[in-house]
Amino acid sequence: MQLGVAQQILDIGRTCEIENRYEAKSCNYLGRQWEGFNDFLNRRLGGMFLPYPPGAYSGICDVVLTDADNKRYWIEVKFCWTYSNDVNRPNSVFHKHLFSDEESALKDVRDKLATLIGHRQAGELGFLLVCLFTDSIPLDRYHIAKLEQSAGLNKAPWVKYELPPWRSRDPNVPGGCVTAYYWQRPAR
């Protein structure tokens, strides 16, 4: 089931025009109403937003799935962009999306998901990072490696799944690309 969930999440991300969606909220873009990615993923996989259980982080988890064996998958999702609204300028808050103590990929793994390790209501933990970049402002893999090291994602029992970059279908981002990384581990 572990590879199955990882593969489903990455396949959905690849095929749903994720580059035209926001992480959590819906938006009207390119003359179309786009459902937020977390809502879309929950709907497609039969998941839901749930509060973290007592004794864990105090907040809501982005995606919670329950498999046929009643194993719960607690999954956090984070987007990061190397470019700003002007796609020719670097995103001044790119590092914030990855490393901030307030709201970031690092916080999602270190401060939220980590509180579920050993928790009886958690079966698997997952973290999806969606990276949007352009040919002129590429994604430096150093940042992914730094996140992995800082969050402990580069150590067992975390397992990394990734998609090779693909061309963005967003006509407003010339030379746009997308890639996605998903890490998963047992909560035990």
Give pLDDT, residue 57.
Answer: 97
DSSP codes of every residue in 33-74: EE--HHHHHHHHHT-EEEEPPTTS-SSEEEEEEE-TT--EEE
Whole-number Å distance between alpha carbons of 37 and 21: 6
Which ranges of the chain have pLDDT less than 50?
A: 1
> Using one digit for the tens of pLDDT, what is the confidence trace for 37-73?
999 999 999 999 999 999 999 999 999 999 888 899 9
**Over the Cα atoms of the chain, what is R_g?**
16
Distance spanning both ends of the chain, measured CA to CA: 16
Please name the amino acid found at residue 54.
P
Give pLDDT, residue 137.
Answer: 97
Give pLDDT, residue 33.
Answer: 82
Give pLDDT, residue 3.
Answer: 58
CB contact set of 102 (below 8 Å; sequence gap of 6+)? 96
> Using one digit for the tens of pLDDT, what is the confidence trace for 11-23?
999 999 999 888 8
Give pLDDT, residue 114.
Answer: 98
Whole-number Å distance between alpha carbons of 34 and 132: 17
CB contact set of 82 (below 8 Å; sequence gap of 6+)? 90, 91, 94, 131, 132, 133, 134, 137, 138, 139
pTM for this prediction:
0.94
Residue 143 three-state SS: helix
Burial class (CB in 10 A: 0-12, 13-18, 19+), 104: buried
Give pLDDT, residue 2.
Answer: 54
Whole-number Å distance between alpha carbons of 141 and 164: 12
Give pLDDT, residue 34.
Answer: 85
Give pLDDT, residue 22.
Answer: 85
Give pLDDT, residue 1.
Answer: 41
Q: Please tell me the total number of residues recorded for the chain in this structure.
A: 188
Phi-psi region of 55 (alpha: psi -120 to 50; beta: other; left: phi over 0): left
